Amino acid sequence: MTADLFETVPDVRPSREAMADGAVLLRGFVKPFESDLIAALREIVAQAPFRRMFTPGGHQMSVAMTNCGSAGWVTDRSGYRYDGIDPNSGQPWPTMPTVFCQLAVQAAIAGGFDGFAPDACLINRYEPGARMSLHQDKDEQDFAAPIASVSLGLPAIFLFGGPKRADKPRRYRLEHGDVVVWGGPSRLFFHGVAPLADGEHALLGHQRINLTFRKAR
């Protein structure tokens, strides 16, 4: 991670809400990055369009996905994994834009995690009715690095549970520009997204976009 990631970022003082040991919600953190972030997002999607992947069990996910970075998360009948190649195009995933890296690094610092160097950004598109069941992010090679999750577009109900699937999740309403960071003791906590309610966002229309930054390798 180069020094300019730290030198060119505006001073950001969002509200900070503790969710669990090692997990925080940063309200409105995206605002200083918003214009460049959305422009870069549109370029990524033009190179690697959204697609609805299949789980190993053959179920087509309700959430459409794409990736950027040196590693991309994919799922198909052979399993869940990271791969440097987009299976749809046979080409490497788009390079992670500098503004993506800046946002992820600064959010991690605000969440209490220095030294975050994400190499993967999973980009999810939720349309009304789409959801994400409770799961753990555990396909990475180690769990020392945090997860930074950025919400854009329509509001969503984020479910954040505990280390066991049976742990009752707490519900957090995430608005456009909010970022959730979790790691350390809560790195493997179960989390998900309730079915997205219909609506229209001024910039992104009838959808929610979620950027999830990870250190995959």
Task: Give the domain ranges of the chain.
Answer: 4-214
Kindly state the tokens that stand for 212: 């999830």
| CB-based contact 176:29 (threshold 8 Å) | no
Least confident of 6-15, 50-59, 163-172: 6-15
How many angstroms separate the CA atoms of 158 and 147, rounded?
Answer: 14
Query: Which residue type, as a one-letter code, is found at position 127?
Result: E
Q: Mind giving me the DSSP string for 142-160?
A: -S-S-EEEEEEES-EEEEE
Give domain 4-214's CATH number out of 2.60.120.590, 3.40.50.1110, 3.40.50.1820, 3.40.50.970. 2.60.120.590
Burial, 123: exposed, middle or buried (Cβ in 10 Å; 0-12, 13-18, 19+)? buried
Could you tell me the pTM of the whole model? 0.92
Of 195, 26, 53, give the one whose Cα is nearest residue 113.
Answer: 26
Predicted confidence (pLDDT) per residue in 99-119, tens digit = 999 999 999 999 999 999 999
Of 65, 35, 58, give the one whose Cα is nearest residue 126.
Answer: 65
In sequence order, what are the beta bridge partners of 214? 120
Place of tokens 């809560």: 186
Predicted confidence (pLDDT) per residue in 138-163, tens digit = 999 989 999 999 999 999 999 999 99
